[in-house]
Amino acid sequence: MKMASHFPSIGLSQFFQLPLNVWITRTSPLSILRLYLYLLGVFYFVLQGKDRVKIFSSLNFILRHRLTFVHFCRNVLQAFGGIFEHYLEKLLMGHRNFAQMQNFLGKRLTVENRHVLDQAAKQGKGGILVTGHFGAVEYLPLALSLSGYKIAMIVKFKTEALRRQLMKRAAELDIILIDAEQNKVVFKALDAIKQGRLLITECDEFSKWIRHKSEKVSVFGNRVSRDKTLDLFYRKAKVPAMLGLMKRRNGGYVLSITSLANGSEKVSLAKKAWDCLEEQILAEPYQWYQWKDAAVELAPFIENGRMNENYQPQGVPAEDTAFAGNYS
């Protein structure tokens, strides 16, 4: 515990993106890099007990009623593995040879329900592609670009070096990156949609939700104030909306597309997107890496020790599907 008290106050993302780790990303074989980052991640969480406890508490709170003890423990280990894999993918996208990354992903990518993307593209009015902190989301813009779609994405950069690298790489593929920390984000996003682009935005960053005063959404069975950002985009743009998730599958990646709204129907896109994402999270908990943020969002419910009374978790598999294949 003494050791933990002297550990620098640095976030996991910044920790993984320290200059030494960037250098190792550029120079090491993928198998060695993965092993190194996983060990580094274990080291981080051993010392950062508060973050580890938050992740475990939200996993326990959300999954404990559905899983056997052994299955729950396996999901916990896989959830931490999914977090480490995410930062591996982030480093690869930011700092690996870009031509190699395009070739790597192009050979391993499958698009599920591509017709939903094609229908939106044919209309020429753009669209809203909602995603989450799920699976290989760092590869999502590249996957869409390699598949021939014009895109824009709202992003938040944790380091200046990563911002410069990704901006440069995005320009090569005609991808517009909108910095979430700069001014006029909504204006820039709507303008990108008017250009006929698919706007990629996440729906599960709870700390960034702009809350409705009265409207609620169920987050794993617990009623919380709903975000209204997606509803604003949908109401203003009047374009098709869909959920897009990059699922890791046996050494490859499946870009799974689900239609959410056609642009004219009156729905809460924020609610519909979250409900659909939650279903996927419960089906594959280890693909999601917002467990720490979920612990903060659901803190009052976790402290009470129970969910809303009538909630019955659905979709958590009785057995795990393969989590990690051969990514080399």
Query: Hey, CA dihedral for 178, 183, 189, 192, is it positive or negative?
Result: negative
Rounded mean pLDDT, 1-23: 75
Contact 144, 256 (CB under 8 A): no
pLDDT at 10: 79
For the chain, give every domain's residue range: 2-97+289-304, 108-283
Closest CA to 202 of 288, 295, 94, 282: 288
**Burial of 167 from C-beta contacts in 10 A (0-12 / 13-18 / 19+):** middle
Residue 5 pLDDT > 70, yes or no?
Answer: no
pLDDT at 7: 52
* DSSP, res 228: -
Residue 321 pLDDT > 50, yes or no?
Answer: no
pLDDT at 65: 81
Residue 267 pLDDT > 60, yes or no?
Answer: yes
Contact 128, 199 (CB under 8 A): yes
What pLDDT band is residue 315 in, cutting at 50, 70 and 90?
Answer: very low
Higher-pLDDT residue of 183, 328:
183
Residue 319 pLDDT > 80, yes or no?
Answer: no
pLDDT at 306: 58
Q: Measured over all CA atoms, what is the biggest interatomic distance in the chain, rounded to whole angstroms?
A: 60
What is the C-alpha to C-alpha distance for residues 113 and 257, in angstroms, rounded to an integer?
Answer: 6
The order of strands in the sheet holding 241-249 is: 109-112, 252-261, 241-249, 127-131, 198-202, 151-155, 176-179
Residue 215 pLDDT > 60, yes or no?
Answer: yes
pLDDT at 182: 82
- Using DSSP, state whether 327 is helix, strand or coil: coil
Mean per-residue pLDDT over the chain, rounded? 88
Residue 179 pLDDT > 90, yes or no?
Answer: no
Place of tokens 């106050």: 9
141-161 pLDDT tens trace: 999 999 999 999 988 877 787
Higher-pLDDT residue of 303, 107:
107
Residue 165 pLDDT > 90, yes or no?
Answer: no
Alpha helix segments (H runs only) across 48-206: 49-63, 69-95, 98-108, 114-123, 140-146, 160-172, 185-194
DSSP H or E run through 36: helix 30-47
Alpha helix segments (H runs only) across 155-228: 160-172, 185-194
pLDDT at 162: 77
pLDDT at 296: 95
22-53 pLDDT tens trace: 999 999 999 999 999 999 999 999 998 899 99
DSSP H or E run through 154: strand 151-155
Which value, to the nearest 10 degrees, does the dihedral of the CA atoms of residues 182, 224, 290, 306 take? 160
Closest CA to 254 of 127, 147, 119, 118: 147
pLDDT at 312: 42
Distance of CA 1 to the CA centre of its chain: 31
pLDDT at 164: 85
Rounded mean pLDDT, 116-139: 95
What pLDDT band is residue 313 in, cutting at 50, 70 and 90?
Answer: very low
